Amino acid sequence: MTVEEVNKATGISIKELNRLNCDLWYHGTSPDGAENIRENGPQAGFNIGNMLDFGAGFYLTDTKERAESYISRIPVLTKEMRFEKRKEWSVIEFRLNPFELLFGEGNEGKYTYKNFPKHDEEFAKFAFYNRLSNVYRENHHGYDIIWGVMSDNLPDQVIYDYTEGLLTYEEAIEKLQKPNSMKQLYISRQEICDMLEITDIIQIVARS
C-alpha cells in the first residue's frame, strides 16, 4: 500500500506515515550496552522492570541527534551509589522500515500497531497505565509496534507522586500531557527485533 492508501484506510496522517517510512533508526545506550546489543542483538525484553511510556520493549527514535539527546541526559549510578553526569555513550544505527513492515504487500494485518501523534489525553492515559501496571509485561497492551510522542522527562516523579497520594489521577494525567519534541518507536515482539540490522555504532564522549 502507498502512504496515501494507508492514510485513507487508517486515518493516520501522511506526515506520521512518512516518518514511519524511514529506513534508518537510532538507539542511545551506554558503551557496554552497545557492545551487548552488538553481540546478542536487540531484545524485546530489554527494559523489563523499568517504568516506560509503552512498557517493556526495545525503543528507537528517528534521528541520531534525538537518540544522543536522550541517552546523554540519563545519569550514571556509580559503585559508590551516587548519580553522576554521563561522560560517554553510544548511538546504534539500525536498518528497518516500519512502514513496509506494517503496510507493505503481504504484511497487512501481520503486526499490531498504534500511533500516538500528540501529547493528548489518550497518550497520557496509555503512558500512565504502562508506567503503573505494565512494568514487567504483566498487563501488556498487545501492540507489536508503537510510534508516538514521549512523555516529559520527569514522568517517574509523576507516578511516584500519584502512588504517594500527592497527585490525583486527573492531575497525573494532565502532567503527562506536557509536550516535548521527542518521538519514539517501540517494538515489543522479538521477531521484529531480530529484523533490526546494525549499520553503525557511534561512540561519543561528552565535551569537557
Q: What is the C-alpha separation between 45 and 107, in angstroms, rounded?
A: 24
Averaged pLDDT of the chain: 92
- What is the pLDDT at residue 177? 92
3-state secondary structure of 44: coil
Q: Is the pLDDT of residue 156 over 90?
A: no
**Is 158 domain-assigned?**
no
Q: Which three cell numbers stand for residue 66?
A: 534525538
186 compared with 208, residue with greater pLDDT:
186
- What is the pLDDT at residue 106? 87
Residues 6+ apart with CB under 8 A from 170: none
Query: What mean pLDDT comes out for the span 181-203?
Result: 96
Query: What does the DSSP assignment read for 58-75?
Result: EEEBS-HHHHHHHHHHS-
Secondary structure in 3-state letters for 75-134 = CEECCCCCEECCCEEEEEEEECCHHHHHHCCCCCCCCCEEEECCCCHHHHHHHHHHHHHC
Q: Which three cell numbers stand for residue 50?
A: 523499568
**Is 135 domain-assigned?**
no
Label residue 153 by pLDDT band (50, 70, 90).
Answer: low
- What is the pLDDT at residue 113? 95
Say what percent of the chain tops pLDDT 90.
77
Query: What mean pLDDT comes out for the span 108-120?
Result: 93
Query: What does the DSSP assignment read for 131-183?
Result: HHH-SSSTT----SEEEEE---S-HHHHHHHHHTTSS-HHHHHHHTT---S-E
**Is 7 domain-assigned?**
yes
**Is 19 domain-assigned?**
yes
Q: DSSP class of residue 56?
A: S
Q: What is the C-alpha separation between 150 and 71, in angstroms, rounded?
A: 14
Read off the pLDDT of residues 129-146 as tens digits, 9 standing for 90 and up.
999 999 999 999 999 999
User: What range does the domain containing 20 cover?
Assistant: 3-119+143-150+183-205
**Is 23 domain-assigned?**
yes
Q: Is the pTM of this model over 0.85?
A: yes
Query: What mean pLDDT comes out for the span 143-155?
Result: 89
Choice among 101-110, 114-123, 140-149 with the minimum mean pLDDT: 101-110
Q: Is the pLDDT of residue 84 over 90?
A: no
**Is 159 domain-assigned?**
no
Helix (H) or strand (E) holding 41: none
Q: Is the pLDDT of residue 182 over 90?
A: no
CATH code, domain carrying 34 = 3.90.228
Q: What is the C-alpha separation between 182 and 180, in angstroms, rounded?
A: 6
Q: Which of 206, 178, 192 is nearest to 45 (CA)?
A: 192
Instruction: Report the domain count for the chain.
Output: 1
Read off the pLDDT of residues 32-83 as tens digits, 9 standing for 90 and up.
999 999 999 999 988 899 999 999 999 999 999 999 988 988 877 777 777 8
**Is 8 domain-assigned?**
yes
**Is 109 domain-assigned?**
yes
Query: What mean pLDDT comes out for the span 15-39?
Result: 95
